[in-house]
Amino acid sequence: MSQKTDRRNFLKNSVKGTVAVSIGSSAVGSLLQSCSTAKTIIASPFKTGFDQKPLPYKYDALENVIDAATMEIHYSKHAATYSKNLKEAVQAEGIDAARSVEDILANISKYSAKVRNNGGGHYNHEMFWQNMRPKLADNKPGKQLMEAIEKNFTSFANFKTQFSEAGKNRFGSGWTWLYADKNNKLQIGSTPNQDNPLMNLSDVKGFPLLGLDVWEHAYYLKYQNKRADYIDNWWNVVNWDFVWQRYAVYFNVPV
Ligand code: MN3
C-alpha cells in the first residue's frame, strides 16, 4: 500500500474520532480530566481489536537496529500469546467482546491479573509495531510535533535523554512512554510488566503517543545485557509520523 493510500485511509478512519474530539474538548473539557471513558473515545481512530494486526513491515525491515529473528519471535510468539490469552480471559470472565481493548484497560482494576497482563501486553505490542518503521537517516519528528516536544522538554535532545533514561532505569521488565496526561501536557513515564498509561491503576496515566518495549525479549539476541545500546539505536526506527497522527487526533489538530 502506498503512503498516499495509507494517509487517505488514516484520514477516513479519523473522521469518527474527530467528532468525538470536538465533543470532548469544546463542550466538556473538564470531563477529559476526570473521565477515562472520554479519553478512550478520543483514541477511537486507533481502537485496538483483540486480534493481532499484520506486522506493517517484514521481519528483517529493522535490521541493524532489531534483527529479524528477534522480530519474528517477538511478533509471532510473545505478542501472539498475549492476544490469544487475552481472548481466552475475556471469554472466561464474561467480558463483552465488542468492547475495545482501550475501554477494558481504562477499567482494568475490575478484572483479573490475566486480563491485565495480556490486555496490556496485546495493546502495547500492537502500538509498538506501528510506532516503528525502517531506519531513516536523520530520523526526527516533523515541525509541529518537534515544536510540541521542545515546548514540553526544552529540546529534542533533552527529550531523548529523559526518555532513554526512563527505559534504562526501568528495573526488570516494562515499557517507557511518551504520553499526554490529563492536563494535556506531554510526559515521559515508565510502567512495569505490561502495564500502560491507559490503565486506571497505573502510576502514570494518560494517552500513549510512543512506547518502547524494554523487556529482554525485545533485544537480548542482538544486544544481550546492553539495554542502553538497544535504546540508543532504537531512535533510528521510531515512526514519528505515527506519533504525530496520534498526537493530532488526541489534541484535535487539523492534519
Ligand atoms: Mn515485548
Q: How far is the CA of 77 from the centre of ligand 1 (A)?
A: 10
| H helix runs in 131-219, sequence order | 143-153, 156-169
pLDDT in tens, 61-119: 999 999 999 999 999 999 999 999 999 999 999 999 899 999 999 999 999 999 999 99
Mark residue 20 as left, alpha or beta (left: phi above 0; alpha: psi -120 to 50; beta: remaining).
alpha
Q: Are 66 and 94 in contact (CB under 8 A)?
A: no
* Structural domain contains residue 104: yes
What integer pLDDT is reported at residue 185 of this predicted model?
96
Q: How far is the CA of 42 from the centre of ligand 1 (A)?
A: 25
CATH number for the domain harbouring residue 87: 3.55.40.20
Ranges of the chain with pLDDT below 70: 1-44
What integer pLDDT is reported at residue 47 of this predicted model?
87
Q: How far is the CA of 217 from the centre of ligand 1 (A)?
A: 6
Structural domain harbouring 95 = 66-255
pLDDT in tens, 14-27: 333 333 333 233 22
Q: How far is the CA of 230 from the centre of ligand 1 (A)?
A: 13
* Structural domain contains residue 191: yes
Q: How far is the CA of 130 from the centre of ligand 1 (A)?
A: 13
Q: Are 227 and 215 in contact (CB under 8 A)?
A: no
Q: Chain-wide mean pLDDT for the chain? A: 86
pTM of the predicted protein model: 0.84
* Structural domain contains residue 150: yes
* Structural domain contains residue 21: no
Total of domains in the chain: 1
